[in-house]
Structures are given as C-alpha cells and as structure tokens.
Structure 1
C-alpha cells in the first residue's frame, strides 16, 4: 500500500497507508485525518476535501477532470479534490497539504 503524507491545517504531519484503488479522500477519512471533511461523500460537489500539491508532487497524479476543474476554477494552481484522486502504486511518498476550510 502506498504511504501518503498529509500535512494538516495545523501543520502536523500524518502518514496513511492507503490501498491502491481507494481515493485520497476515503483513505484520509479512514486514517483519521479529520481535516478532510468530504461533506458530499466524494462526488465532487462541495469542495470540503480540497488538498494542495506542491509543484514537485503535482506531476505524480493525473490531471483534473473537467468536473473537478470546474470546482477548482477559482483556486490557485496546485489545489485538487482528494475525492477525485485514486491512489496508485506510484503515489508512495506523495505529500499533500490539506487546504484550509473556506467557511
């Protein structure tokens, strides 16, 4: 299982081993990362599972779909919806920062 490193909104580093084929959102929730709220349950409609990828980590995942892109159009580069990112073996060591809540 790839190990993903989450940096919480308080700056704490939490590591989660997430099964391949699971979304980052689901893996974070199941690993007790409370900053990922995912109010819509993972259907890309609320934005409460936003993460930030630095430039080095952006290349480790596939580009955003049109639906995800429409949810992120007002966000800076590097923002993604964790519900739309499916973990694969190449993501081992991926570092993601949980985006601050917007409300």
Structure 2
C-alpha cells in the first residue's frame, strides 16, 4: 500500500497507507482524515473532497476528465477532487494539501 501524506487545513501532516484501487477520498476517509467531508460519497457532485497538489505532485496524477474539470472550473490550478483519483503504487510518497471546505 502506498504511503500518502495529507496536509490538513491546520497544517498538520498525516501520513497513511492507502490501499491500491480505492479512490484517494475513500482511502482518506477510511484512514480517519477528518478534513475530507465527502458528502456525495464520491460521485464528484459536491466538491467536499477537494485537494491541492503542488506542481511536482500534480504531474503524478492523470489530468482531470471533463466532468471533474467542470466541478473545478472556478478553482485555482492544482485543485482536484480526491474522489476521482484512484490510488495505485505510483502514488507512493504523494503529498496532498486538503482544501478548505467552502461552506
């Protein structure tokens, strides 16, 4: 299982092993990462699982498809929906910053 570091909105770094095949969102929720609300359950309709990737880490993730892109059109570059990123072994060492909730 790849180790992924989540940087919370408070700046705390939490490293967790996330099983291959899960979405990054589901893995984070199951690992107890509280800053990911995942209100829609992972169907890319609420935006409560947004993460921010720096340039180095963004290049490790396939680009957003049109549907995900439509959910992110008002967000800065590097923002993604964690429910749309499937964990595989190439994500070992990935660092993601959790985006603030927009409520």
- Name the TM-score, length of structure 2 as normaliser: 0.99
Cα root mean square deviation, aligned: 0.4
Alignment match, 1:65: 65
Kindly state the Cα deviation for residue 16 of structure 1 after the two structures are TM-superposed. 1.1
Q: Which moved more, 1:40-49 or 1:14-23?
A: 14-23
Q: Which of structure 1's runs of 4+ aligned residues deviate more than 6 A?
A: none
Q: Which residue of 1 aligns with 2:92?
A: 92
* Structure 2 counterparts to residues 36-55 of structure 1, below 5 A: 36-55=36-55
Cα distance between partner residues in 2 of 1:20 and 1:55: 23
Q: With the length of structure 1 as denominator, give the TM-score of the two structures.
A: 0.99
Unaligned runs of 5+ in 1: none
- Structure 2: which 5+ residue stretches go unaligned? none
Would you say 1:26 and 2:20 are equivalent positions?
no
Aligned length: 103
